[in-house]
Amino acid sequence: MADGANAILVGGRGRGVGRDGEGAGRSGTPRRLRGGRPIAVVAAVFVLAQLVFVHPSMGLGWDEIVYVSQVTSHHPAAFFSAPRSRGVPLLVAPVASWSASTELLRVYLAVLSGLGLYLGLRAWQGLFPARVLATAGAFLATLWVTLFYGPQAMPNYWVAIGALVTVGCALRALGAGRGCSGRGALWGVAAGAALMALMRPTDAVWVAGPLLVLALVRRHWPLLLALAGGLAAGAGEWVVEAYAWYGGLGERLSRASEIQGGLGWNLALDDQMRSLGGRGLCRPCTGAMPHPVVTLWWLLLPVLAVLGAVVAVRARRATATLVALACAVTAAAPYLFLIGYAAPRFLQPAYALLALPVADALWHLVKTGRDRWRPVTATLVALAAAGHLAVQFSVLVDTVDRNVASREDWARVAGELHRLGVRPPCLVTGHESIPVGYYAGCSSGATGGNNENTTAAEIVDTARRIPVAALTGPGGSPPAYARDWAAHRVTDLEIRVAPPG
């Protein structure tokens, strides 16, 4: 095994010491466990930072509402479109199925995301030194997009954690690091692949692509079986649902592509850069670029990752770094080159995998060079890190404030609907009907667009039985079926309420 080339067995007391410090130390505590302490500290700080900077009372966002409403008993389920999968509803079910408390859900997800970060990084123990893993975790955990979405009911962070587990355990199964192979690594591969596929099946395939090729080239059939089995287990429900509701897998993929604007060659690099200023969804992605200081880290990220690869090749430990880079590239590819819009959360799996070679590169910059230059280099890296943190937390605070305000607006409109007599059971249609309907405790309906789930005739028929309201956004006109309904103004919306049946 390659393990033997990477480990030094020390006799006498039977202690094993490896290049990255596993084994038993003088204290008697296994160094493998002590090596996990920095990661645990990073994960704990990550949880606290989420609870401090992302208000636990922040209401649910649009996509969160779609996912959470699938498992609640206190709100009607919102329309579930073709690209979505059931991973997030399963993730939030232990809390959302019995409690309507947003605060409780946020705390639950924050703690769970910290645990996920810890487990994702531990999958790489033996492949990188503990200091590199802790630095990689700190980098990932302090990105505003990670902190913002960590306590939210969204899938992308969990694809990132699944990617860390899958790639790390696959490398362990291949014997790329000391003491890393074995049946446990294969179970980790299957679990990580299942988590990714459960959250976003198509993303899971993009991440796993290089691993599948590597397993075939190496003829490592157990790894290939673990990968394929994990992907199949996670995506199984999505595939069954495709045949039950969409007429087949091809039809569902086609509909998902249509909802995403049609997959094809679309250079979205500039769109992703525009979204770095805190835009949750950049569609259409127009307007000015954020200040260069906000996008600088994003431009330096691939440079540092390549430097990390060079460092690894020169040190003759390239496998782990190059595989991580390959999976990061394939994870990012569809969101950089195949869709015509952007959301910063789409790239979370790529960020998670790039964090490892980036952290390796930073340690190389700090520790190499002539002795007289090391303090200078270390100081420059520290100053760059401080500036990076300042930028990330500034964007985070602004993003949280804007989202709190927009979700309070939805709640305000919902309160006005209640005042107008639109109370559960009820139906809300038109502009932003999904979030407003959720906050009002109503079902939501759309006669067109990506969330089409009803017809005008069905809405009119429903109005004979329960309260129905049609919302019209700024500059819009009410639908034909609601033009004779009583009109009311709330903020910049027009609300038309159907007369009692």
Least confident of 228-237, 310-319, 453-462: 310-319
Residue 237: C-alpha distances to residues 64, 190, 296 (Å): 20, 16, 41
β 7-9/16-18 pair status: antiparallel
What pLDDT sits at residue 31? 54
Query: Sorting pLDDT into bands at 50, 70 and 90, what band is 3?
Result: very low
What pLDDT sits at residue 317? 86
**Which of left, alpha, beta for 101 (phi over 0: left; psi -120 to 50: alpha)?**
beta
CB 119 within 8 A of CB 161: yes
Query: Higher pLDDT residue, 300 or 288?
Result: 300
pLDDT at 5 over 80: no
Structure tokens at 68: 């959470």
Q: How far apart are CA 439 and CA 415, in angstroms?
A: 8
Whether omega before 349 lies within 30 degrees of 0, making that bond cis, reads no
Structure tokens at 22: 């596993």
β 427-430/468-472 pair status: parallel
What pLDDT sits at residue 13? 32
Query: Sorting pLDDT into bands at 50, 70 and 90, what band is 307?
Result: very high
Question: 255-266 b/e with 16+ CB inside 10 Å = b?
Answer: bbbeebeebeeb
Strands annotated E in 419-485: 427-430, 443-445, 468-472
pLDDT at 305 over 90: yes
Per-residue model confidence as pLDDT tens digits over 393-425 = 999 999 999 999 999 999 999 999 999 999 999
Q: How far apart are CA 338 and CA 328, in angstroms?
A: 16
Q: Most confidently modeled of 315-319, 339-343, 447-451, 460-464?
A: 460-464
Residue 273: C-alpha distances to residues 35, 326, 388 (Å): 36, 22, 16
> How many other CB atoms sit within 10 Å of the CB of residue 347?
25
Per-residue model confidence as pLDDT tens digits over 439-448 = 999 999 999 9
pLDDT at 8 over 80: no
Helix then strand then coil, in percent of the chain rounded to 5, is: 60, 5, 30
Query: Sorting pLDDT into bands at 50, 70 and 90, what band is 33?
Result: low
Q: How far apart are CA 458 and CA 443, in angstroms?
A: 13
Taking every pair of Cα atoms in the chain, the longest distance, rounded to a whole number of angstroms, is 91
- What does pTM read for this prediction? 0.92
Average of per-residue pLDDT across 310-317: 90
Per-residue model confidence as pLDDT tens digits over 340-394 = 899 999 999 999 999 999 999 999 998 876 666 778 888 899 999 999 999 999 9
CB 39 within 8 A of CB 121: yes
Burial (CB count <10 Å: 0-12, 13-18, 19+), residue 207 = buried
